[in-house]
Amino acid sequence: MRYSKSTIAIPPGATIREQIENRGIKQKEFALRMGLSEKHVSRLINGQVELTQDVALRLESVLGVPATFWSNLEVMYREKLARVIAEEEMEKDIEVARLFPYAKIATLGWVEKTRNAEKKVLELRRFFEVAKLELLDNLRILGIAYRKTGESGISDYSLAVWAQKARLEARKYNVLPINISKLKSEIPKIREMTTKKPEVFCKELVDTLAECGIALIFLPHIGGSFLHGATFYDGKKIVMGLTVRGKYADKFWFSLFHELHHIISGHISNVEETTPIEENDSDIFAQDTLISPTDFDDFVKTGNFSKESIFSFANKISISPGIVLGRLQKENYIPYDRFNDVKEKYEIEY
């Protein structure tokens, strides 16, 4: 017998046991009369094996109870057993669902708004395309390389949601076969886009990366994930998801080149999560691609960090002045509360 809060599943074997006990028949003798092994009869009585049509006919002969009765008992048992299992899985999944930022993603329209715990589970199962949330033991997509700025107990669950949405959106994109050599050659062209407005560079960037086998997806930030971007393989394409966390140009472009380096360096082929060393290497690549070490060192040596000098230097190396300011603030040459009007805020449609 197996039961949940609202269902009890009693196997036909319970009735068989009752019948043979009423007749004073021992299980060994009953097995001989049935022409079955004692082990099989024991498993039948305990509901561990299915009561087949053949067994139903044998029971009719041995116990004098119609085969249809036994067959119907088996059907009822299997149906109730399925309900019990489903209810048990639902209870477990309700606990798992509580770990996800459901209210946030419902606000974004990724799942339906609801306060019903079971409905949340069903929505999350649909979103993740799984029969039960228990199957999401490994929440991180295999080999995912991502950049985040902190740690949190719920960050992995937020990341799982975010990455799944990127995967779903990427299905809408047609991209060419993956071509890492072409991607490397396109880096200078992509850097040139930093001086353009989002309404101009977004399409150019998406198209350029699509030619390299990469589907670029823009998604909103999910609270608790501390996420800037994530990159992973999905079938025959690479999915790169970017948030516009802060919506500042310097953070956006730094995250983009950081993710591009993960691709170029093969980090997304790793079975495990990217290492701190790999993350640091990608940070350096992004930093040096945006502003070369030589150019930055020469500028710093001047000691002139006025707004005018920042614009002049940015114009000289053909990059957004906000990126120069962001670098200077990060390396403590300028306080974070100074010249922030220089930083351009992006409004990118998701």
- Whether 66 and 125 map to the same domain: the answer is no
What is the full DSSP assignment across 76-100?
Answer: HHHHHHHHHHHHHHHHHHHHHHTTS
C-beta of residue 219 within 8 angstroms of C-beta of residue 166:
yes
- Whether 186 and 260 map to the same domain: the answer is yes
- The amino acid that residue 199 corresponds to is E
- Whether 29 and 166 map to the same domain: the answer is no
Domain-embedded: residue 350: no
* CB burial of residue 131 (10 Å; 0-12, 13-18, 19+): exposed
Pairwise CA distance, residues 281 & 302, whole Å: 28
> Total structural domains in the chain?
3
Nearest to 35 by CA among 48, 44, 22: 44
- Whether 154 and 124 map to the same domain: the answer is no
User: pLDDT confidence of 152, banded at 50, 70, 90?
Assistant: very low
Domain with residue 13: its CATH number is: 1.10.260.40
Three-state DSSP at 13 gives helix
- Whether 58 and 193 map to the same domain: the answer is no
Percent share of the chain, pLDDT over 90: 69
Domain-embedded: residue 71: yes
Query: What does the pLDDT read at residue 153?
Result: 41
Residue showing tokens 């017998």: 1
Give tens-digit pLDDT for 218-254.
988 776 555 677 888 888 999 998 887 557 888 899 9
C-beta of residue 148 within 8 angstroms of C-beta of residue 281:
no
Domain-embedded: residue 181: yes
Percent share of the chain, pLDDT over 70: 92
> 227 or 289, which is more confident?
289
Q: Which of 121-135, 138-152, 252-266 has the lowest mean pLDDT?
A: 138-152
Domain containing 171 equals: 145-342
Query: What does the pLDDT read at residue 340?
Result: 84
- Whether 202 and 256 map to the same domain: the answer is yes
- Whether 170 and 45 map to the same domain: the answer is no
Residue showing tokens 């509901």: 47
Query: How would you classify the pairing of strands 8-9 and 214-218?
Result: unpaired
Give tens-digit pLDDT for 85-114.
999 999 999 999 998 999 999 999 999 999
Pairwise CA distance, residues 330 & 350, whole Å: 28
- Whether 157 and 114 map to the same domain: the answer is no
Domain-embedded: residue 6: yes
Three-state DSSP at 218 gives strand
User: pLDDT confidence of 145, banded at 50, 70, 90?
Assistant: low
- Whether 191 and 227 map to the same domain: the answer is yes
- Whether 81 and 175 map to the same domain: the answer is no
- Whether 23 and 155 map to the same domain: the answer is no
- Whether 58 and 117 map to the same domain: the answer is no
